[in-house]
Amino acid sequence: MKSVKKPWFHTQKIRDDLYCITEPHYTWENRANLWLIKGRDSDLLIDTGLGVSSLKLYLADLLDKPLKVVASHVHFDHSGGCHEFDQVFIHENEHHALCCGDQQQILSAPEIGFVPDSDFDSIPYQGFSASDYEVKACPHASAIQHGDVIDLGDKAFEVMHLPGHSSGSIGLYHAKQQTFFSGDVVYDGELLDNLKDSVVDEYLTTMEKLMLLKVQEVRPGHYHSFDQRRLQELVKQYIADKKAPICPSER
């Protein structure tokens, strides 16, 4: 029998204004990085994890001003806790799915098989079963689009619509610091482009845009952070893989 783990989350302080929250008892392959950015007038939380334990209560001691929550996209490992928060934003292409709790587009429907019990080495509460898991609807979420700005008073993040992994995937770019919060658009691992809402041609266009992005640091939705050199390596590799000839006669 699996043990109950409390707290369910773990926080790593990167610097005074940046924290990374994870769910360490959930499988590494799908474990999301949840980024908390402290601002002068408000704070920003990028993604909310699975929603199997209260992230709002866990973060209470870190929050001393209004909080804006942005989901990088609607998939379960990034949007699961959105319903807990008052100010929630998601790209307009996935706004309806989050508002109504569309388990198919969120990828949390049991028949899809993305959230098996085997992905939990411990459980968030007694009686938890992954077979009963679903993401709660967030009907009060607001829609955002490319070019919108999330303003914290002393720092501002531009919304970049970067589809391919999903139709509403976004990144948030801080131009002054040249920091890019990439969600699942790009991370240092196998990029998924064969999901329900994935489009490879759109992903290729997104990657070409990322080649031109000036960044000092990339803070991704999974795994470790990296710099512009590694970003360009990952982008070039994806483009090369997808544009590779499919038979010898095309070489």
pLDDT digits (tens, 9 = 90+) for 194-221: 998 999 999 999 999 999 999 999 999 9
Cα(133)–Cα(17) distance, rounded to whole angstroms?
33
Q: Taking the C-alpha atoms of 33, 38, 41 and 42 in order, what is their torsion angle to the nearest 10 degrees?
A: 20
Residue 242: band (very low, low, confident or very high) from pLDDT cuts 50, 70, 90? very high
Q: Give CA–CA dist 66/123, Å, rounded.
A: 30
Query: Which residue bears the tokens 């001393």?
Result: 64
In a domain, 60, yes or no: yes
Rounded to the nearest 5°, which phi and psi values hold at 142?
-110, 145
Q: Contact 204/243 with Cβ under 8 angstroms?
A: yes
Q: What's the pLDDT band for 246 if we cut at 50, 70, 90?
A: low
Is 2 inside any structural domain? no
Q: How many CA atoms lie within 13 A of 179 on its CB side?
A: 14
Split at pLDDT 50, 70, 90, the class of 245 is low
Q: Does a structural domain hold residue 32?
A: yes
Residues contacting 65, CB < 8 A, separation 6+: 39, 41, 42, 43
Residue 209 lies in domain? 10-243
Amino acid at 174: H
In a domain, 33, yes or no: yes
**Residue 74 · residue 166 · CB < 8 Å:** yes
pLDDT tens for 116-172 read 999 999 999 999 999 999 999 999 999 999 999 999 999 999 999 999 999 999 999
Using an 8 Å Cβ cutoff, are 166 and 104 in contact?
no
What does pLDDT average to over the chain? 96
Q: Is residue 80 part of a domain?
A: yes
Tokens read off for 184: 């699942």
238 within domain boundaries: yes
CATH code at 166?
A: 3.60.15.10
Is the model's pLDDT at 248 over the cut of 60? Answer: no
> What is each CA distance from 172 to 29, 44, 73, 194, 197, in whole angstroms?
23, 11, 12, 23, 21
For 160-163, which contacts have Cβ atoms below 8 Å and span 24 or more sequence positions? 160/209, 161/91, 161/93, 162/206, 162/209, 162/210, 163/93, 163/199, 163/202, 163/203, 163/206
Q: Per residue in 72-113, pLDDT tens?
A: 999 999 999 999 999 999 999 999 999 999 999 999 999 999
Domain count, the chain: 1
